[in-house]
Every structure is written in C-alpha cells, then in structure tokens.
Structure 1
C-alpha cells in the first residue's frame, strides 16, 4: 500500500500568519489613505489570494477598487510582505512534532494554498520548512485554484501521490470544498481564519491540536472514504 499523502492549507492551518498579513495589508491600503483593518476583519478577507484580499479590504474600508488601481497595490503588498518574511509567522503548536512522527512512518506531505506560489515558497524557505514537502502549489500554479478539485488533484499529482491515499487539512470553506470536490476526506482545524465555526462546513472530522493528527486517525479516514466510494455512497471525482 502506497504511503498516504497529507495535504495542508498554509495560512491558518500550517502557519499562524495573521500578524504579518494584517501588517502588509494595512501598509498596502495606506497608499489610498484608508483606515487599517483589524485582525477581526481577517477572516472575511483571506482565503482567495492576495488580489482578492486587497480588493475586499478596500471595499470594507469604503473604497471599491478599479481595475487600474489593483496592480500597483498588489505589487506594494508583495514587496512589503516578502521583505518582512517570516516576521511573526510561526507553525502552529505541535505541527512539526506531528509531521516528524508521521514522516518516520512513511507519510508524505504537500501544501495546497491559494496564496501566490512564490510567496508560499519564500515563506516556507525562510522558516526552513520547505524540505518537509513533496509539492507546494499556490493560487497561481494552475489554471484553477481552490475550491476547484483540479488544484488539489494537481498538487497530489506533483507530489507523486494517489488520491485514494490522501487527506486534506485546512481551516476554511475552500479547503473543505476542494476536498469534497476531489472526493478526498478532510480534516478541519478550528484555530485558523474561518469566519464561521468549522463544524458548520461539514468536514470529515475536526482536530483542535496537531497532537491529534495521528496515523490511526488518517488510516481510519482513508478506510471510511474508500469504503464509501467502493459502495457508491459518495460522488467522487478523484479517478476522473
């Protein structure tokens, strides 16, 4: 049996990035003399990449963007965010310990994020985490992005994984939906940036700490998912 591949979202799942995202976002919209956003606003802003985050922040502060304004603001955000990485960003408690334990059992890892791939790779490089992952894909890696199943399935392919031996872990609706659309079990974490309780997103299961991410849990999820698929209980696109 092939080793299972565990695919992580980045912001709000692998890494607590909120302080640096807010700082760079406020630096960006200051060019328009807009009031800063707060951490409490972040859950309504993130999840679809930097462009959408900037657009939403400007709209929230009463300034809907024109098409002409966005490119310069995006460049301003990327420059500030990149220059200050990793800043205050850090892995969530228990993550590295859990990954090292699972790696010793043959499990492999990938990242599937709507963050620009270049930003994701730079951040993981500076945190010295890149070597943990067999693939890192972003919102601009493919022609589609989460929650389109193609983003997750493309990530699995790049990592050399098998969709029938894969689990997706995330903190937001896009993560749960991309897993559902790809016919892959999902694990939600409640400590990220979802603007609703993650239980309402109906993930396959929820863990409150990475200490709960065990091989027993992963194998049980995979057995249940593949049994349901074999019995025709769930619509599954993973073999298409």
Structure 2
C-alpha cells in the first residue's frame, strides 16, 4: 500500500454511487406496475426510491400509484426481479470519473469492495455485464449476511473489512443507509451528491461530500489526515 494514502480499503455502494442504474431500475419498476394496470413512473420519480433493495423500491412505486397488499408485493417483486435480471445493463453506466478513481486507488495498492442492498447475484451480474467484477476484492449484497443484516446494519461493512484483509477503511455512498451502516462499523463516509438522494446530501451526516469522482482521492486524503 502507498504509505502516503490513509486507507487500505475503500468500499462503495453500487446503485447511485458506482453506477447510474436508474434507467434500468425504473424500467423494471414500470414493468411490474404496468402489468397490473398501474401508470408508469418517470426515472426522476423512481430515482429517490432506490437504495433500500428491490422490495422497498417496488413498495414505494406501488404506494405512489395506489398502494398494495403484501401478497401483491410478493408477486410483483418476482416480476420486477425477473425483468431486471433479463435487462440488467441496457442503460446502466459508471458515473463520470468513476473508473479513473478506481484505477487511481488500485494503483495506490488500495483494496476495493462493493456493499449494496441489491441482491448479491444481481450485483455480480451487473458488474459482470460492465466488466467490472475483477476490480473488487469483495462484493456483498443485501442478502449476503442473511435476513435483516443488510444496510443500515453495520454487518455488511464489517464483513467487507474482514474479507479485504482488515486495516483502515472508508466508505462511499449516496444514502442514509450507507452512512448509518458505515458509521456504525466505525468507518468515515463520503457521500455522493450525484447519487439517488432521498434527502439533501448535506443532511445525510457523512464526513464529506463530493460532487464528482475527480474529488474522491483528495477528499479521502483529507479525511485520513483529519483522523
């Protein structure tokens, strides 16, 4: 590891942090909604629903178009996931500057990881489709740790540090789930203002905010110096 860089491990959320998946996720939500006669939602309407996992996202979509029962949600969640798996990277791309930032970190000897509330097999599928999987030493999904142990619980972030061999770590995300999970695990958090925000980025409680990936490396250096 580069002795001048303060973190041995940097973890990332996936949707809204590494990847702009909003187009494909909105298409999957709308597939489920329109299959039961509900109106489709715009990508802008779906974007703040992303972050808590597929069921949470769908439940918000159903609530916005008239509500639903748990039984209906069970059926439509399967429909959403099947459609998404079949169309997982039609519109999805890394955010601007993301790949260069990952290259920079890797060049410094930093181990990289993904911790997401997306199901692990779907996280791996979208990363595979974009040829990004090999960049990460650990990929942890919302179901990896078992029921009730996804973000905002600290469990997946603690597992990330362990699977990457231990040492100083930081986390990058775009939601309150990311901030709460990482901070509960004792890690500083960088929040992305370009993500799928459910609230103003300044209110997330992160230690720092970036507006573009060009700002990530100097921000991590500053956080490490402050610590």
Scaled by the length of structure 2, what TM-score is found?
0.92
Q: Does 1:17 align with 2:27?
A: no
Structure 1 residue matching 2:172: 3-state secondary structure: strand
Match 1:36 to one of 37, 40, 44: 40
Contact 1:167–1:222 (8 Å) recurs in 2: no
**Counterpart-to-counterpart distance in 2, 1:62 and 1:211:** 41
**Counterpart-to-counterpart distance in 1, 2:138 and 2:122:** 14
| 1:190 equivalent in structure 2 | 193
Contact 2:208–2:219 (8 Å) recurs in 1: no
Aligned length: 221
User: Deviation string for 1:66-106 (max 9, x for gaps)?
Assistant: 23222321221111111112111000111111111221111
**Counterpart-to-counterpart distance in 2, 1:54 and 1:154:** 27
User: Deviation string for 1:164-203 (max 9, x for gaps)?
Assistant: x101101111111112211211101100111222111121
Match 2:55 to one of 43, 51, 55: 51
RMSD: 1.6
Measured after TM superposition, the shift of residue 224 of structure 1 is: 2.7
**Counterpart-to-counterpart distance in 1, 2:142 and 2:100:** 28
Which consecutive segments of 4 or more residues in structure 1 shift more than 6 A?
none
Contact 2:179–2:204 (8 Å) recurs in 1: yes
**Counterpart-to-counterpart distance in 1, 2:94 and 2:47:** 18
Structure 1 residue matching 2:11: 3-state secondary structure: strand
Structure 1 residue matching 2:70: 3-state secondary structure: coil
Scaled by the length of structure 1, what TM-score is found?
0.87
Match 1:220 to one of 196, 219, 222: 222
| 2:71 equivalent in structure 1 | 68
Q: Does 1:138 align with 2:141?
A: yes
Contact 2:7–2:169 (8 Å) recurs in 1: no
| 2:83 equivalent in structure 1 | 80
| 2:158 equivalent in structure 1 | 153
Q: Does 1:176 align with 2:199?
A: no
Match 2:118 to one of 91, 115, 119: 115
User: Deviation string for 1:5-57 (max 9, x for gaps)?
Assistant: 11000000000011111011100111211111122322442111001111111
Measured after TM superposition, the shift of residue 3 of structure 1 is: 5.9
**Counterpart-to-counterpart distance in 1, 2:175 and 2:75:** 28
Moved more, 35-44 or 194-203: 35-44
Contact 1:147–1:175 (8 Å) recurs in 2: yes
**Counterpart-to-counterpart distance in 1, 2:136 and 2:39:** 38
**Counterpart-to-counterpart distance in 1, 2:224 and 2:151:** 21
Contact 1:190–1:208 (8 Å) recurs in 2: yes
